[in-house]
Amino acid sequence: MDSSILVERTLAVIKPDAMDKAAEIEDVIHRHGFMILQRRKIHLSPEEASDFYVDHYGKMFFPSLVAYMSSAPIIAMVLAKDNAIESWKELIGPTNPFKARETHPRSLRDTYGKDQTRNAVHGSANQRTAEREIHFLFHDSIVEPIVSDLSAKDYLEVNVNPTLLKGMTELCKIKPKDPVTWLADWIIENNPNKPKVAQYLVAEK
């Protein structure tokens, strides 16, 4: 497994028609290995729904979609997982639940969808859309990928732990009155990446 894998984030929305199945849907999300980083229940205004679905502006179904998405509360979630965007799209299935029943049986839209508008859930189409949609519904969210546990562990073991272990050993020997400040100074002084200044002797004339 590549230890440099980053955990991607995507937006998931439980739509008004599936709100009574929210607990079941969230259970499916967990069972498929997603982390729910943020979650909120919100009732969008028609203006907010219009802005959220701005990529569909001008399409025939746009007015009915906006009216539907602003008709009742929804649940928005920020999901995280390796390859989260494509994994979530695969789990929810095609936009049309009838097509989902043919190509993605047991997907969320197959299980809970009623028609192309009332199709239970929403997922971001790509990275650009995910960033915009997450910022739209979670204004303070950081969308950059987060480091997986394995990647973080390997990074610390290679780049931090060897130096930190030496510093902690010296700290235990000396037992200074202010151990935190002493350790910080020691790390700065013994930073293995610190540039080495060459010493030159200047011959006397």
Which are the catalytic amino acids? 122
Helix then strand then coil, % of the chain, to nearest 5: 50, 15, 35
Contacts of 9 by beta carbon, 8 Å cutoff, 6+ apart:
37, 78, 79, 80, 84, 130, 134, 143, 145, 146
Type of residue found at 61: F
The CA radius of gyration of the chain, in Å to the nearest whole number, is: 26
- State both tokens at 193: 């990446």
DSSP states of 54-105 as a string?
A: GGGTTSTTHHHHHHHHTSS-EEEEEEEETTHHHHHHHHH--SSHHHHHHHST
Residue 98 neighbours by CB distance under 10 Å: 14
Type of residue found at 156: L
Cβ–Cβ < 8 Å for 10, 79: yes
* Number of DSSP helices (H) and strands (E) in the chain, helices first: 10, 5
